[in-house]
Amino acid sequence: MASLIFDIETLAHPLTYFDEKQQEYLFKFCKTEEERVTKIQELALSPLTASVIAIGMVNPETERGKVVYLSDEVSSEKNENENIEFLAVKEEREILSTFWNDVKHFDQIITFNGRGFDCPFLMVRSAVLSVKPTRNLMPYRYDTKYHCDLLEQLTFYNATRRFSLDFYCKSFGIQSPKESGITGLELPALYEQKRFREIAEYCIGDVLATSQLYKRWKEFIALETS
């Protein structure tokens, strides 16, 4: 069974994207400037207030994959190990179309908190941009055959506490992508500075770490029951 691990990076729309009524709606419960700043950061979490700027994809069996990301120039190149393609495009629609074209060739998708974020974001964002999906990313929750969300599996469907990918990686002795010094909060600044390749590397780093975590889960936790 062919599997694909993926992760997305998103960027909130500038406030000028929204009309007066929309801004009033977004900030109507903010009473302080601190609450307003927090709300602005949260805009990146919704497909109605943010866009996809990168999607990383890797086959855990071969460790080969690609990351397609927004840039001001179109390009395609491999990393030094020749196993990851860095595909730069100029339109968000191209990112989504590339993802849907690739994911249809795999039987199973693997994510970290994909059911809580990546998958619904991609489904709705694609609809907003009139990009047609090639599969349902939100199948039956309690069967990992088609979608294995590692966060749900490692918490046994929220029976135990949830931790970040960084925390799980460090606990399992896996190199965390956060060790590069970049976090999700820094993506807006990187994008503003046109450091697009760094965003792509951050994205694929999350995917490769998820791949290692998946292999540990599969070997030691996902045991067949008689």
The one-letter amino acid code at 95 reads I
Q: Which residue carries 């799980």 as its tokens?
A: 168
Secondary structure of the chain: what % helix, strand, coil (to 5)? 45, 20, 35
- What mean pLDDT is predicted for residues 106-125? 98
Helix (H) or strand (E) holding 191: helix 187-192
Distance of CA 8 to the CA centre of its chain: 2
The mean pLDDT value of the chain amounts to 95
Among residues 97, 100, 85, 105, the alpha carbon closest in space to that of 203 is found at: 85
Closest CA to 210 of 156, 153, 168: 168
Residues 179-186: what's their mean pLDDT?
79
Q: Which residues, in sequence order, are CB contacts of 146 under 8 Å at separation 6+?
A: 107, 108, 109, 139, 140
Give the C-alpha separation, 10 to 50, whole Å: 6
Residue 226: per-residue pLDDT: 37
Handedness of CA 6, 120, 69, 184 (dihedral sign): negative
Q: To the nearest whole percent, how much of the chain has pLDDT over 70?
A: 99
The helix/strand/coil state of 109 is strand
Return the CATH number of 3-220, one of 3.10.110.10, 3.30.420.10, 1.10.287.130, 3.10.20.30: 3.30.420.10
Whether the pLDDT of residue 75 is over 60: the answer is yes
Using CA atoms, how far residue 32 sits from 13, 22, 29, 189, in Å, is 21, 19, 9, 23
Judged by average pLDDT, the poorest of 14-28, 64-78, 116-130, 178-192 is 178-192
User: How do the domains of the chain map onto residue ranges?
Assistant: 3-220
**Residue 44: C-alpha distances to residues 39, 91, 109, 152, 171 (Å):** 9, 18, 23, 22, 28
Handedness of CA 138, 70, 187, 35 (dihedral sign): negative
DSSP, collapsed to helix, strand or coil, labels residue 9 as strand
In this prediction, residue 224 has a pLDDT band, given cuts at 50, 70 and 90, of low
| Rounded Cα gap, residues 18 and 148, in angstroms | 35
Q: Is 172 exposed, middle or buried (0-12, 13-18, 19+ CB in 10 A)?
A: middle
Which one, of 5, 9, 11, 30, lies nearest residue 188 by Cα?
11
**Among 71-75, 79-83, 102-106, 215-219, the least confident range:** 79-83
